[in-house]
Amino acid sequence: MLNKIVVNAYNLWVVVFVAIGTIASAYGLAIIGSTVGQPNFYIYFNLPAEGQSGYAHTTNMIGALNGINSAGAIVGCLLQAWTADYYGRKHTIQIGCVVLIIGGALCAGAVNMAMFLAGRFIAGVGAAILACIVPIYQAEVSTAETRGAMVAVTGIMYAVGYTLAGWLGFACYYMKATSPAASFSWRFPLAFQVIFPLIVLAGSSLIPFSPRWLLQQGKAEDASEIVKRLHSTPDDVHHAKAKQEFDLIARQFEHDRSMTIRRFELFRTPANRRRALIAFILMWGDQFLGVFVMTNYGVLIYASLGLGGSIPLLLNACWTSFTLIGNTWTAFYVDRVGRRNCLLIGSIGCTVSVMCLCALTAQYLGTDNIVGLRGAVFFVFFFIFWWCFFIDATQYIYVAEIFPNHLRSQGVALGLSSFYLASEVTLVAAPVALNSIAWKFYLVLIVPSLCYILAIYFLFPETKGRTLEEIGALFGDEANVVSQWYNVTQLDRERIAQETFHEKKGGSPSDSAQESDAKPAVVHEEGL
């Protein structure tokens, strides 16, 4: 909990600022859910509305708009895996912002469906780059004690994006179709997403490079100074804790550098294969819980349950607004409750909610039983309670911290790629399936979700309270230089800190690794 630890103000500012970019990622995802609820959108693109002849074509186009966005997102994940290591985390954030601005502009200015589809693809690339790189960057600049809360800021910003999309879509509903500016009702909400990457791009020169990436570039002194600035506290004027953390980072980097990094290294060792499997299952499983279906097609679901006019858009706005409360709670409590527990509780709650929604829809869809239909609406809202309190932010924390430094960008890319790959199934199929087979579509979500719950219970280790380097011990990394550090007593840690962090005048912290016999105590088994 943040009230039990001291948070560096500069560190918090950096984490919050980069997360502004993910507002656009979430907003771009959620705004299409409002767009398909705008009558003027259907009129402009000559798409039949629900209940009209040819609506099957409309559902295909809605699925295509989401599918092409997910396809772009997969490309963005893979691109980020390369740029994050080659150009660095900071420059990759800048690249993602530029791409997202271009995609958002094309969507807002679309004069035909082909241009709209192209914009959705490019926007998907940019959104995925930011979705991957921001939690990576946040994890790498945070301390072990604050990392959960710091990376959870991404979840909070996602909630901000969801909320803005919902309320802007609702506000623009009242534009009259006969107005000369009727297309404003869907163009302005789409254009609004470029504001956030513009802000990040404009202020990106003020954020530091990731200290772990700087080490990879041979800039140990710069990395050390950044760690001190990010992790200094008023009661630690000599930066003992920051020096201790940097020493562990530097030692792990030296070990990683001695390794031969081969193609497909992510799948070469048992430890890495386990990480890759967990990352894939985590993000694939979260997608099949049904969140994108609820986010993008909530308006259509409410309409099918007998609600008309602006009410579906209003409910969608309220639904997305609730995520702000849940993600903020996660930021304060995930380091106490634990990542694994949050994922277990949330996935069980979401699955039960979809089961109840499925049962009520099967029983009452197409009837005039108001109680049954409103009960189904309740379980759509019950779903978001479990999602935003326990899963939304937690998934980004977990996938960003389980990989070693030299594989983190590739590992997060794998995880997020599986998330967007799964969305190709859920988002493309959902509008057609909900129109054709109705409640039976929910079974496609329920069965994989039950398997996902079992996977969390048996495969996912708890990572709270450990540094990124210490987490390697959970996966059985061989020769991990801090594999035994986690179980060292506080007294021994203080002794090692006093003996270890003596800096030579004019030297860098890493230089002292060669002059102290105490330092190898972290490496040699007899020293711990």
So what's the pLDDT on residue 437? Answer: 79
Report yes or no on 505 lying in a domain.
no
CA dist 23 and 14 (Å) reads 15
Judged on CB neighbours under 10 Å (0-12, 13-18, 19+), 65 is: buried
pLDDT at 500 over 70: no
- Percent above pLDDT 90 for the chain: 46
DSSP state of 37: T
Report yes or no on 421 lying in a domain.
yes
Report yes or no on 230 lying in a domain.
no
Looking at the structure, do residues 419 and 480 belong to the same domain, yes or no?
A: no
Nearest to residue 510, comparing CAs of 214, 255, 238, 247? 247
CA dist 520 and 107 (Å) reads 57
CA dist 124 and 62 (Å) reads 15
So what's the pLDDT on residue 479? Answer: 53
Nearest to residue 338, comparing CAs of 465, 449, 455, 459? 465
So what's the pLDDT on residue 55? Answer: 84
Looking at the structure, do residues 184 and 299 belong to the same domain, yes or no?
A: no
CA dist 391 and 280 (Å) reads 15
**Residue 342 CB contacts under 8 Å (≥ 6 apart), including other chains:** 330, 334, 390, 391, 394
The residue among 424, 440, 465 that closes a domain is 465
CA-atom Rg of the chain in angstroms: 24
Q: Residue 297 corresponds to which amino acid?
A: Y
Cβ atoms of 95 and 87 closer than 8 Å: yes
Nearest to residue 223, comparing CAs of 94, 89, 407? 89
Report yes or no on 375 lying in a domain.
yes
Looking at the structure, do residues 484 and 459 belong to the same domain, yes or no?
A: no
DSSP state of 112: S
Q: What confidence tier does 252 reach under pLDDT thresholds 50, 70, 90?
A: confident
pLDDT at 49 over 50: yes
CA dist 200 and 177 (Å) reads 35
Report yes or no on 519 lying in a domain.
no
Structure confidence by residue, pLDDT tens digits, 384-439: 999 999 999 999 999 989 998 778 889 999 999 999 999 888 888 877 787 777 88
Cβ atoms of 346 and 391 closer than 8 Å: yes
**Residue 443 CB contacts under 8 Å (≥ 6 apart), including other chains:** 358
pLDDT at 453 over 80: yes
CA dist 443 and 427 (Å) reads 15
Cβ atoms of 390 and 349 closer than 8 Å: yes
Looking at the structure, do residues 367 and 413 belong to the same domain, yes or no?
A: yes
Looking at the structure, do residues 167 and 46 belong to the same domain, yes or no?
A: yes
DSSP state of 466: -
Cβ atoms of 47 and 57 closer than 8 Å: yes
So what's the pLDDT on residue 321? Answer: 92
**Residue 258 CB contacts under 8 Å (≥ 6 apart), including other chains:** none
Nearest to residue 510, comparing CAs of 240, 218, 241, 256? 218
Q: What token pair was written down for 70?
A: 């997910």
CA dist 17 and 230 (Å) reads 14
- How many residues make up the chain in this entry? 528
Segment among 117-126, 142-151, 194-203, 307-316 with least mean pLDDT: 142-151
Nearest to residue 32, comparing CAs of 430, 449, 440? 430
Mean pLDDT of 304-312: 88
CA dist 34 and 453 (Å) reads 31
pLDDT at 476 over 70: yes
- In this predicted model, which residue has the larger pLDDT, 508 or 521? 508
Looking at the structure, do residues 323 and 297 belong to the same domain, yes or no?
A: yes
Report yes or no on 487 lying in a domain.
yes
Cβ atoms of 421 and 284 closer than 8 Å: yes
Looking at the structure, do residues 56 and 156 belong to the same domain, yes or no?
A: yes
The residue among 210, 243, 261 that closes a domain is 210
Cβ atoms of 66 and 116 closer than 8 Å: no
Mean pLDDT of the chain: 85
Looking at the structure, do residues 429 and 490 belong to the same domain, yes or no?
A: no
Looking at the structure, do residues 440 and 494 belong to the same domain, yes or no?
A: no
Q: Residue 249 corresponds to which amino acid?
A: I
DSSP state of 149: H
Cα–Cα distances in angstroms (integers) from residue 205 to residues 18, 93, 142, 200, in the given order: 11, 11, 19, 9
So what's the pLDDT on residue 505? Answer: 40
Q: What token pair was written down for 231?
A: 């992790």
Q: Residue 347 corresponds to which amino acid?
A: S
| CATH for 126 | 1.20.1250.20
Nearest to residue 320, comparing CAs of 18, 32, 3? 32
Count the domains in the chain: 3
Looking at the structure, do residues 389 and 306 belong to the same domain, yes or no?
A: yes
**Residue 281 CB contacts under 8 Å (≥ 6 apart), including other chains:** 452, 455, 459
Cβ atoms of 222 and 202 closer than 8 Å: no
CA dist 439 and 84 (Å) reads 42
CA dist 426 and 437 (Å) reads 14
Q: Residue 443 corresponds to which amino acid?
A: L
Report yes or no on 219 lying in a domain.
no
So what's the pLDDT on residue 59? Answer: 84
pLDDT at 513 over 70: no
Q: What confidence tier does 491 reach under pLDDT thresholds 50, 70, 90?
A: low
Report yes or no on 518 lying in a domain.
no
Looking at the structure, do residues 399 and 474 belong to the same domain, yes or no?
A: no
Cβ atoms of 139 and 147 closer than 8 Å: yes
Looking at the structure, do residues 141 and 278 belong to the same domain, yes or no?
A: no
Segment among 86-100, 218-232, 279-293 with least mean pLDDT: 218-232
Range of the domain at 276: 269-465
**Residue 309 falls in which region: left (phi positive, over 0), alpha (psi -120 to 50) or beta:** left
